[in-house]
Structure 1
Amino acid sequence: MGAHILLIGVGHNRNSFLHYVESLVPRPRLRVRRFPMELAGERVWIETPDVGNDNDTHFPVVGPDFERHAGIRPSRVGGAVCRLLPVPALVDFAVPRLQELLDTDAAR
């Protein structure tokens, strides 16, 4: 739909949209998340699979790779470095690139 992501003063290690991208890769890194929930008046713990934490591993690689690929040029607003990223192009680029990085990890 032509959406954009605006990063203001942060890098791709803080680009939480990349978690959505990771949910689209064929073989994501998964972890089990636990959270409390009330069922029939009783507190129980629910477990669900979710994408793993990136911990500054691949998002800081995928983001700049995309910027170079798409010709994104950072701008400054005050003291903040800003980047405007087109979502459809980011998804198209980042899904296979992230899968490539995850596959490399798995092969180690």
Structure 2
Amino acid sequence: MLKILCVCGCGLGSSFAIEMSAKSVLKKLEIEADIDHTTISEANAFKSDIILTQKAFADVLNADASPEQIKRVIILNKLTDKTEIEEKLVAFLKEHNMKVPSHE
């Protein structure tokens, strides 16, 4: 099952908002995923296939990350924009040869 982590500074506000929007998108796309939210400082303790976050936190996550770890970070410009989340998730899945919904 796909594991998705939503990350922000405190692990409460924006990461939870991203999680709720992403859950809605995943439901629409009929993609099963284990999705959670956390703080930037705890993000690397989680094993995840995808990290959804904003640019400032992506820069911190990627600072000491391996090339493989960097590939799993999806940067969102508008944290709760379901269209942006859907486009970027589908692009990620295609790029990584993962199952993409046929009814895009």
TM-score by length of 2: 0.30
Specify the structure having the higher radius of gyration (Cα): 1
Higher helix share: 2
